[in-house]
Amino acid sequence: MLQPGNQANTEYWFRLFYECIRGACYGSTDALSAFLAHLWLWIVGIGYALSVIGLVVIVYCTVRLFELRKREEEYYSTLILAPDTKTGGHPRWSHIESLIDGTTASEWREAIIEADIMLDDILARKGYVGVGVGEKLKSIESTTLSSLQDAWEAHKVRNQIAHQGSTFDLSETIARRTIARYESVFRELKVV
């Protein structure tokens, strides 16, 4: 059996292993070959089943991830600013007031445009529908909002600024009067 010169020969050990698998150890090659073929079929079948299960899990997780991202986008896309607890005012309104207190006409223009954007957001939150502030104001009854005329007058000034730009002669008096009109609407709507 084991010859003294073959003990460290790896080729000899691999040949012995190969002969054992071919049936020299068991006496019959047919039984071992049938068992290995049967075992291989089970391994392949289980592998396919695990692959299909893994694919289903991946598709399910991907669908759930897209649903989660959609809900997050809906939740985080609406920026609702709470009133400032220190001053009791609204932070957007505080910014508008700081702009109207500026010394240049560009700051006053920006204050009026910001106030109109704020009015649009507030009217949308109150449930008024329309493409812009004008359409939302049209859907409001004068009995519902007593400062509706102030909102219209302020919005008209905003439209003049938007359409004429820097050519619109905006005085400090007109700017302050317009912001005061916005403020009366916001106070009635209990925003500031």
Flag whether 138 is in a domain: yes
Same-domain pairing of 181 and 125: yes
Flag whether 86 is in a domain: no
Last residue of a domain, one of 43, 77, 111: 77
pLDDT in tens, 21-65: 666 665 555 666 677 778 888 999 999 999 999 999 999 999 999
Flag whether 83 is in a domain: no
Q: Is a pLDDT exceeding 50 seen at residue 85?
A: no
Same-domain pairing of 171 and 104: yes
Flag whether 128 is in a domain: yes
Same-domain pairing of 159 and 103: yes
CA distance 181 to 157: 11
Task: Give residue 136's domain range.
Answer: 91-188
Last residue of a domain, one of 25, 49, 77: 77
Same-domain pairing of 52 and 101: no
pLDDT in tens, 129-180: 888 888 888 888 888 888 889 999 999 999 999 898 888 888 889 999 999 9
- For the chain, the domain total comes to 2
Same-domain pairing of 141 and 54: no
Same-domain pairing of 119 and 175: yes
Instruction: Please give the model's pTM, rounded to 2 decimal places.
Output: 0.54
- Greatest Cα pair distance, the chain, in angstroms, is 115
